[in-house]
Chain A
Amino acid sequence: MALAFDEYGRPFIILKEQDQKTRLRGIEAQKANISAGKAVARILRTSLGPKGMDKILQSPDGDVTITNDGATILEQMDVDNQIAKLMVELSRSQDYEIGDGTTGVVVMAGALLDQAERLLERGIHPIRIAEGYEMASRIAVEHLEHISKKFDFGATNIEPLVQTCMTTLSSKIVNRCKCHLAEISVKAVLSVADLDRKDVNLDMIKVEGKVGGKLEDTELIYGITVDKDMSHPQMPKQIEDAKIAILTCPFEPPKPKTKHKVDIDTVEKFQTLRLQEQKYFDDMVQKCKDAGATLVICQWGFDDEANHLLMHRNLPAVRWVGGVELELIAIATGGRIVPRFQELTPEKLGRAGLVREKSFGTTKDKMLYIEHCANSRAVTIFIRGGNKMMIEETKRSIHDALCVARNLIRNNSIVYGGGSAEISCSIAVEAAADKYPGVEQYAIRAFADALDSVPMALAENSGLQPIETLSEVKSQQIKENNPHYGIDCNDVGTNDMRQQDVFETLIGKQQQILLATQVVKMILKIDDVISPSDY
């Protein structure tokens, strides 16, 4: 550890308690960081592509997650290394921005780090490598724009959207019925999308799952499901043309926030209080009834008496509905959330064509469906599946597919998948490298090599000879000047991704390259790691 001395030979203290800290400097630090980043990428590498494998993750509490989704794997891995945490962060930001391609971005970053390590060994300064990468990424992103295709779709022609979602889903466990799920996702997104503003609010799509049945039973409900049942077992199970009062006040006597006491000291007072209480319950129910409601959905609980009064007046009610669900119901039915009984008016009621209770299996499992809502824009995707882990994984896959569909609505440019975009970029970057004078040229060339690693991983996972396949596809691309050749993962027989209908979104791909480059630059710039040693 570096020590500085003053003129009397006493050491300066630069770091507090420095003998208790471990410190890595210079090239050592960079190498350690790179190897950590690579280790993370190595874990995800086998999950890439349609033939990618899943991981089992056991949480600290012993719960099991089985997944193929890069972001989920990294999130649950509970990593301890700082650089590894950066990689986790990287995959998460891809997840937030784009929703898909979370595995690809980490593999890409890992490949860039791998190349950087070789350059470092040759004595190239890390900053020069970082700059070279930056230039190369710009070239690649521009090239992507160049090879991208725009395609048209409308409310009636959803086929292209479905195709793209299918590409996303094909790498997940649900690929058995990817066609069905892709269609559901696209329909869901389209029904909430604002095509003029090119905006999609994914909050309007609720993804619910219930164990049981089979994956094919997954359905899209134009409405909302609530995992609750009617508060009184004898209330009607089906209401047509429901007018819904959405309340956030309990069916109980009021509890003022200010502290107060009602003192009872005479018999008369006791009796008036009693009458008042009865009247209070009566009023509450009457107000709902007067407003014309035929269904009450309440965030809080009911008193037994209120419950019976509601039942008695033929006013079905649902209690303990969560805040988020309440909001969704309000949006879907066009109603207002009413915090006080006094403010309940007919205009504030939500409307739904059909409200019904549905029971599942042999246990007492019931759910409430609210369908044909006034504002049909809120939809629910209801997933069924063999077991809990399957449902969780399907939820994640559907989320990815929804994101992809949303991205396409925002920007309808696509690039072809199966590694074809990466190969094409790699060729373009390679060609551009020669034009740059200076050391950056090496970095740019390294970037091109790193781009090759994604199709390489794809080929590897599909059981093909990686080097052979890649070089073949690459030469084909150059020879025919056609950027649509990729890795034939599914053994279809053709390398042309256009014929195989494998698309990815342009912004997803661009984001992958940009994010990966950014993180790698950040890692390369670190030359000193100071960490408190254990204990």
Chain B
Amino acid sequence: MAIERILKDDASEEKGERARTASFVGAIAITDLVKTTLGPKGMDKILQSTGRGQEVTVTNDGATILKSLHIDNPAAKVLIDISKVQDDEVGDGTTSVVVLAGELLREAEKLVAAKIHPMTIISGYRIAAECARNALLQRVVDNKENAEKFKSDLMKIAKTTLSSKILSQDKEHFAQLAVDAVMRLKGSTNLEAIQIIKKPGGSLKDSFLDEGFILDKKIGLGQPKRIENAKILVANTAMDTDKVKIYGARVRVDSMSKVAEIEGAEKEKMREKVQKIIAHGINCFVNRQLIYNFPEELFADAGVLAIEHADFDGIERLALVTGGEIASTFDNPESVKLGHCKLIEEIMIGEDKLIHFSGVEMGQACTIVLRGASHHMLDEAERSLHDALCVLSQTVNDTRVVLGGGWPEMVMAKAVDELARQTPGKKSHAIEAFSRSLVAIPTIIADNAGLDSADLVAQLRAEHHKEGCNAGIDVISGSVGDMAELGISESFKVKQAVLLSATEAAEMILRVDEIITCAPRKREDRM
């Protein structure tokens, strides 16, 4: 009797060993893909989109690379997902988390081949992850009390993060930018207050941090180009024709003169609105929606600077910065909070005119203007800077810091190795494997830098046998160096998130013993 088919025609089912191999292969392939971007000497990838225009992205950021891939392998999708979450939660370490998860699976594959049950591997990994975390916790440095030291910590973290990106040439400069910007936030993680404007032209070195706020808009014609002690009204209101919002209303006229009358009334209405707005005693008006010529002219007459079509983010940020509220009705001028700033002026960056608000009330916000040779360069610079800002703002909240350059991995590996020796039973193999996966990260960093990884890691391991050692891989000189002296630091929060999510993902993939793929949804044939 033929075996009954229970699944639909195009569906497939993979069981046991085959399922496991499929997920291992998928996960390891993804790991190998992003592996080469790890570390300060990591390489970039070019991504070409399939959409119209075949846009090209050049990046080194793990999350960006993985996001753009179209993957069919379920295990690979799990890895992409963890990288995305890492990006959302802490902003950095997106490559590391994938590489660590991949290495864990690679080790697990060997153990499975040696006839150790996946469940045993999982429980071993769990114990190991906990142990590694504790080992790291014991070695963290917390400089919360000492503001001066903390600032230098931040500086180090920023430099470490940026060193693996395109900005590494000017990392000193950008690290300073990022730290200054984050310090201005005074502990809040609201990165929206930091605006990044990209303007092609000049070189990366010309990028600068501006204390005020820059709006990428032009000033209306015939209006003042420079206002001191500006009172700003931020609004979100229709300044074209104010529609009647009552449903079903329409204009029905029977003669030309009536049309003119109604038009007059409309104009009158608009004039009144403008009068009301001007009555707030303002000299700058920023609206989210369009401002038509007529009201613009009225504003110009009154000597009020009117800026139209500032996008939603711009409006919110401006309101935040100047301390005003976003207004939509203008009947009670006395109770609307106006925004204030010392000076509004038009500035030129490259060839573009921008509006610059300086001396704003709330000192938290600032703008970083990025300059660079090409759009790709700027995009990548923005991503890198974003990573650095995320990490820094998270570090401000959780001030614990660890050293970088493969130091944390070696510390964890040492503790985990210790644990493996004490654990009886098959689990110890899994724990040992965990430590091997951890060591893989400094190995990859060294490999990517074109160094003799085997030799370096062996040296490193020997160094770490001493108590309280700060040794890590110094990629620049290609030797083992003291990370504390070299000033390479990383945020504890990032490292912890990498460790935990990678273990979680590896566990998830290991638990699977069957893959059932449903028949792909049929596309309607348009022919």
Contact = CB atoms under 8 A, between A and B. Distances in A.
A159 interface: no
Given A54-B513, A80-B5, A267-B265, A277 B245 contact: yes
Contacts of A226: none
A84 interface: yes
B7 interface: yes
A192 interface: no
B11 A78 contact: yes
B441 to A, nearest CB: 19
Nearest to B269: A274
B479 to A, nearest CB: 35
A274 B521 contact: no
Contacts of B246: 253, 262, 273, 276-277, 280
Interface in B321-350: 325-329, 331-332, 335-336
Nearest to B504: A386
Contact of B8 (A76, A78, A233, A311): A78
A81 interface: yes
Interface stretch (B33-41, B45-53, B75-83, B377-385): B75-83
Interface stretch (B152-160, B249-257, B367-375): B249-257
Nearest to A304: B328
Contact of A58 (B236, B244, B251, B515): B515
Contacts of B9: 80
Interface in A26-75: 28, 31-32, 35-36, 39-40, 43, 46, 51, 53-62, 64, 66, 68, 73
Contacts of A58: 74, 515-518
Contact of A265 (B254, B501, B518): B254
A277 B393 CA distance: 46
B78 A305 contact: no
B5 A35 contact: no
Interface string A87-114: 0000000000000000000000000000
Contacts of A253: 245-247
A211 interface: yes
Given A53-B511, A54-B508, A265-B252, A305 B328 contact: yes
Nearest to A61: B521
Interface residues of B, number: 87
Nearest to A60: B521
A387 B19 contact: no
B411 interface: no
A80 B8 contact: yes
Nearest to B324: A234
A55 B504 CA distance: 16
Contact of B326 (A56, A234, A270, A280): A234
A81 B4 contact: yes
Interface in B143-167: none
Interface stretch (A324-332, A359-367, A405-413, A465-473): A359-367
B206 interface: no
Nearest to A273: B244
B131 to A, nearest CB: 14
B518 A77 contact: yes
Interface residues of A, number: 87
Contacts of B23: 56
Contact of A385 (B11, B244, B504, B517): B504
A405 to B, nearest CB: 25
Nearest to B426: A463
Interface in A168-225: 173, 176, 211-215
B458 interface: no
A123 interface: no
A232 B7 contact: no
B192 A364 contact: yes
Contact of A266 (B88, B236, B258): B258
Nearest to A63: B77
B391 to A, nearest CB: 9
Contacts of A176: 126
Contacts of B237: 304-305
B469 interface: no
Contacts of A505: none
Nearest to A46: B513
Contacts of A361: 88-90
A255 B265 CA distance: 25
Contacts of B516: 43, 55-58, 73, 76-77
A124 interface: no
Given A55-B512, A80-B5, A362 B74 contact: no
A43 B254 CA distance: 77
Contacts of A389: 78, 81, 508
Given A211-B88, A264-B252, A54 B511 contact: yes
A447 B11 CA distance: 34
Interface in B496-527: 500-501, 504-505, 507-508, 511-521
Nearest to B72: A62
A364 B23 CA distance: 33
Contacts of A266: 258, 261
A36 B7 CA distance: 10
A397 B85 CA distance: 21
A357 interface: no
Contacts of A35: 1, 3-4
Nearest to B335: A312
Contacts of A363: 88
B508 A66 contact: yes
Interface string A475-509: 00000000000000000000000000000000000
Q: Which of B331, B501, B505 counts the most A-chain CB atoms under 10 A from its CB?
A: B501
B464 interface: no
Contacts of B501: 214, 386-387
B56 interface: no
A308 B327 contact: yes
A360 B261 CA distance: 55
A213 to B, nearest CB: 7
B284 to A, nearest CB: 18
A11 interface: no
A303 B5 contact: no
B189 interface: yes
A456 B519 CA distance: 33
Interface string A350-364: 000000000111111
Interface in A438-486: 463
Given A55-B514, A364-B192, A79 B247 contact: no
A450 B23 CA distance: 34
B108 to A, nearest CB: 14
Given A35-B3, A273-B249, 16 more contacts: A43-B13, A55-B516, A79-B6, A260-B248, A261-B248, A270-B262, A278-B329, A280-B246, A305-B237, A305-B329, A308-B236, A308-B326, A359-B190, A362-B91, A387-B82, A387-B508
13 contacts: A56-B514, A57-B516, A213-B89, A214-B504, A234-B326, A261-B248, A265-B252, A267-B264, A280-B246, A364-B192, A365-B88, A386-B501, A387-B85
Which 4 pairs between the two chains have the least Cβ-Cβ distance? A308-B328, A53-B513, A60-B521, A386-B504
